[in-house]
Chain A
Amino acid sequence: MDKFRMMFQFLQSNQESFMNGICGIMALASAQMYSAFEFSCPCMPEHNYSYGIGLLVVPPIWFFLLGFVLNNNVSVLAEEWKRPTGRRSKDSTILRYMFCSITQRSLIAPAVWVSVTLMDGKSFLCAFSIDLDIERFGNYSFVRGMSETEKFKLLARIPCKDLFEHQELRVAASRYIKCISQACGWMFLLMMTFTAFLIRAIRPCFTQAAFLKTKYWSHYIDIERKMFDETCKEHAKSFAKVCIHQYFENISGEMQSLHRHHANKDDREEDDRSDEDKLLGIRAQDDMNKVLWNWHTCKPALALRKDQMDDDNEKLNGRINGAVNGLANGHAHNVEKKEWAVYYSKV
């Protein structure tokens, strides 16, 4: 269990290694699925080819789509693609970069499935046993007397050990097809590796500066989204706290002054507030019942009162705030706000 925990901690340390971890897990899962899958060729001329090639092609498509589903960056990409331009211009190179990196990661598990299937050879044997030329394996006279359909039926039964009587022919034919299948598998691996090599190793010859830029901004978009979610969560928590606090005060009718002059205010935490404070003004059974009842029947509006939030400067700012609030309430959206600050500097 410890080993798994360490591995998870390491993988989650940053986004890139997390995605690489998912990639690796999917590749292992695809190899494991292949070995657990019980391949059973139908051994009939009409269905062999579709079964064999289907098994080679359909699971990779499935793994590719699963890679897209599991990748967090897909929703970031979609959001960046669809958003209105607004005040921030859109850069298509960033979208292309994100799409390429998602696609590259999603292609690994399908590639693993295809290479494992080709190296194993069973699917090629099932699909292509009909196209064999038996003469090449030896002198088999019984074949010459057969009609075409009978010959096909015989050849189609080669992948099935228990249905085919001439064992040496079967062994020789399956060995031949498996050898071709493995050759295709190695060629496929060579092609994929060579393509990856061209993309990774030769790319710096071309657009390196632009690449650094797109890498930075695509990472930024991802982080900004996370920061926004975090800030919203913190905001919601504070909003809820102040809202509930004000709700209790409304019911109790008392103004709670949480303002304290402490010499060492930094050491002070919420829990140090005395029990008296924590009552929030609710001291009687009736009041508490009212609090609980109203919480269901008449929840408070989602609007925090400003004067509760700066109680010490009530005399100075409270009235001013109230007036300004009244004016600003309806217009805050359209008017460019001015921050007033008086610089008191005696140089």
Chain B
Amino acid sequence: MERLKLVLQYFQSNSESISNGICIVLALVSVKLYTSFDFNCPCLPQYNKLYSLGVMVVPPIILFFLGVLINRHTGVMMDEWMRPVGNRSKNPAVVKYLFSAMLQRALLAPMVWILVTLLDGKIFICAFSVSVDPGFLGAPNNTDLDMIRIMAKVPCKEDVIFRNSSFRKAVSRYVRCYSQAVGWSVLLFLIILGALGRLIKPCFDDHAGFLQTRYWSNYLDVEQKLFDETCVLHARDFARKCVVQFFEDMREDTVLRFPHPSVVCNHKEGWEEEEEERLHGVTRQKQMDELLNKWYYSKPELDVTRMAHRPRACVTWEDRHGRTLYSDV
């Protein structure tokens, strides 16, 4: 539990690592999705290829869209791109940086899906078993189905025509071997691409400019989060003042306050004063009923200026020569 907490804290420490964390979670989700998906090859010549390529292509598109959706940077980037210039100049480099970061992260889960399907091999077997040359591996010829149909049935293990022959296993193994070769090549290609990109980029890039872009894109993210948080806190204070002002408006008596020298301002002490404050001057059943009624039929306007800027008495002490000793002003 402690380790999990530490890991979560590390990932939440800054926005970049949150995005990385989400990206990795999505990649794990894609692996889990593949293992729990019940791949069901139709084993019919016309439909095998269509089904397999569909399963290889459509889920990555879905995962890509999900990756773009879940990423916080998408919102930040769109805001920065679409906003009017106003008092703050726009920096296209920041938008480009955010876009490329978002794209890279969104592409991870689809790549993981494609690699897992290639390395597992089921999809290739389903798609390309028809294209294998049957004479190569010794096909059974004791059925009256034509060859294409037999080859199309290779991905389906339970079929009765393959019961006593090792032909099916031979074809599967052959196609799977191709599939895994393709998978490993793709992985190698991606890694080399990444490594080259990392090594060569400093030669072409302006590192100082890059530091600036990275700083300002992080800044935009943090600024948006803080704005949202401040709005939430503000709404809370606004609501509290509005409600208290509504209660106070239902007070019945006018209160005369004379600052009497022998009675200091807070003459009521102890719990009585707290209780009275909480009562906000509403002390009778009829008042309370009316207050509740009014809350529904005539909600107060959204203006807490009176409450927020309540006038208070300011006192200035002067000695007999007219010099200011103390002043509230």
**What is the interface of chain A, defined by CB distance below 8 A to chain B?**
2-3, 6, 14, 83-84, 86-88, 119-121, 136-139, 167-168, 171-172, 175-176, 178-179, 182-183, 186-187, 189-190, 193-194, 196-197, 200-202, 204-205, 208, 216, 219-220, 223-224, 226-228, 231-232, 234-235, 237-239, 241-242, 258-262, 265, 268-270, 273, 301-304, 306, 309-310, 312-313, 316-317, 320-321, 324-325, 328-329, 332-333, 337-347
Contact = CB atoms under 8 A, between A and B. Distances in A.
Contacts of B89: none
A309 B272 contact: yes
A39 to B, nearest CB: 14
Given A197-B68, A227-B243, A347-B329, A339 B40 contact: no
Given A216-B231, A231-B243, A269-B271, 19 more contacts: A87-B298, A88-B299, A88-B302, A182-B51, A186-B59, A190-B58, A204-B78, A208-B79, A227-B236, A227-B242, A238-B275, A259-B267, A268-B269, A306-B253, A328-B253, A332-B251, A332-B252, A337-B251, A342-B313
B16 interface: no
A268 B327 CA distance: 29
Contacts of B302: 88
Given A189-B62, A343-B313, A302 B285 contact: yes
B311 interface: yes
B270 interface: yes
Given A83-B296, A190-B62, A201-B69, A324 B78 contact: no
Given A83-B296, A216-B235, A235-B280, A340 B272 contact: no
Interface in B248-307: 249-260, 263, 267-272, 274-276, 278-280, 282-285, 287-288, 290, 292, 295-302
Contacts of A189: 62
Contact of A176 (B5, B44, B239, B250): B44
B54 interface: yes
A87 B296 contact: no
Closest 9 pairs between A and B when the two form their complex, measured CB to CB = A86-B298, A302-B285, A204-B78, A224-B239, A304-B283, A179-B42, A332-B252, A238-B278, A303-B284
A345 B278 contact: no
Interface in B49-99: 51, 54-55, 58-59, 61-62, 65-66, 68-69, 74-75, 78-79, 82-83
B43 A172 contact: yes
Contact of A340 (B42, B254, B316): B254
Contacts of A268: 269-270
A309 B276 contact: yes
Contact of B314 (A237, A320, A324, A345): A345
27 contacts: A6-B1, A14-B232, A119-B37, A120-B38, A175-B41, A175-B42, A176-B42, A176-B47, A179-B40, A190-B58, A196-B65, A202-B78, A208-B83, A219-B235, A223-B236, A224-B238, A227-B240, A231-B240, A238-B276, A239-B283, A260-B269, A304-B283, A312-B267, A316-B260, A324-B254, A328-B253, A343-B313
A224 B1 contact: no
B244 interface: yes
Given A220-B235, A220-B239, A309-B276, A87 B283 contact: no
Interface size, B (range): 35 or more
B243 to A, nearest CB: 5
Contacts of B251: 332, 337
B297 to A, nearest CB: 5
Given A234-B278, A235-B280, A341-B257, A86 B299 contact: yes
Contact of A342 (B61, B236, B258): B258
Given A190-B62, A258-B270, A344-B315, A227 B239 contact: yes
B254 A186 contact: no
Given A88-B300, A171-B159, A329 B252 contact: yes
A168 B159 contact: yes
B78 A201 contact: yes
Contacts of A138: 145
B316 A346 contact: yes
Contact of B316 (A3, A171, A345): A345
B124 interface: no
A309 B78 CA distance: 59
Contacts of A121: 38, 40
Nearest to B324: A347
A320 B44 CA distance: 99
A339 B238 CA distance: 22
Contacts of B59: 186
Contacts of A338: 254
B58 A321 contact: no
B223 interface: no
B249 A337 contact: yes
Nearest to B39: A182
B279 A265 contact: no
B113 interface: no
Contacts of B78: 201-202, 204-205
A270 B295 CA distance: 33
B150 to A, nearest CB: 11
Contacts of A235: 247, 278-280, 282, 288
Contact of B40 (A178, A190, A316, A344): A178
A201 B66 CA distance: 11
